[in-house]
Amino acid sequence: MARSPKVAAPGTSVPHTTAPAALPDELEQWLHHLEVERRLAPRSLALYRDALQRLVALSGADGVVLRQAQPHHVRGWIAALHAGGLAPRSIALILSAWRGLYRWWGQNGHVALNPVAGLRAPKAGKPLPKALSVEQAVALAEHEPTEADPALAARDHCIVELLYGCGLRVGELIGLDVGPGEGAAGWVDLADATVHVLGKGSKRRSGPVGSAALAALRRWLAQRALLAAPGERALFVSRRGTRLTDSQLRSRLRRQALQAGLPTNVHPHMLRHSYASHLLQSSGDLRAVQELLGHASISTTQIYTRLDFQHLAKVYDAAHPRAKKKE
């Protein structure tokens, strides 16, 4: 297959200072239909034009007449786009435009079949969850928040210790109450060093609470009454005395990470990922990590084996004599 000309990927900006590239009349007619009948925005029209330019280039390289294209031709063009480094999402947008063109031709009796119908872009690989290094996570957990109000400092420190020390989801953490009273979604049993939460799918699970997290929790509980409104059952409360919200917690965590000198934007789930990957690095017990995280399927937990492999690969590259490049 001949190499197709390079055309800007959908999602990239289209210069306004240059006139749009001309297409065959049969394709310009469809774009006119989209502009007049469908009232597509100029930006959308530019993306459709780009997709059609790719179609012309690919079909021309194969010597295929557009209205005679077959599914196997389109599969080859998808493969060419993918091999050229185009992202699956961009390919999906291009296929959507091609599919619309052939559908319109079919409605007007110009083609007998839609060669793009049923064809899909390659699946995008699942990105690895972002986790902190052990050193970064410990630095954040040991950082004492810079706050004029000692109650807020104690609260924010306790939040980090529970997120990283117990692997809690943000919803599980802000749902914690001060005790197992009626209607409590979750709580921490100080005597038993256990946290009880209501996780995804309304499934309850329990997990151990480490000594550092217990110490931070006791310190916060000693200050909590200074902030909590009368009768408030939430373990973590805001300045107003009511249950801390998701956005408030994220903002406070981001601030702490900056104060601790971490070079990345830290969010609550990053600490859960760090909890899981660091446990797996140390223990290698995938089933235990699955139980601690509350995953219904082991396949969900297996993504952390990829994180662990990355860690091992870095160790190998740094330490093994045959991995080092010669100067």
Angstrom distance (rounded) from CA 296 to CA 208: 19
Catalytic residues: 169, 200, 269, 272, 295, 304
Q: Are 39 and 53 in contact (CB under 8 A)?
A: no
Question: What type of residue is 91?
Answer: I
Angstrom distance (rounded) from CA 298 to CA 277: 14
Q: Which residues pair with 295 in a beta bridge?
A: none
Angstrom distance (rounded) from CA 116 to CA 99: 5
Angstrom distance (rounded) from CA 151 to CA 223: 5
CA distances 213 to 188, 209, 319, Å, are 11, 6, 34
Angstrom distance (rounded) from CA 154 to CA 147: 9
Angstrom distance (rounded) from CA 244 to CA 264: 24
Residues contacting residue 21 through CB under 8 Å, at least 6 positions apart: 49, 53
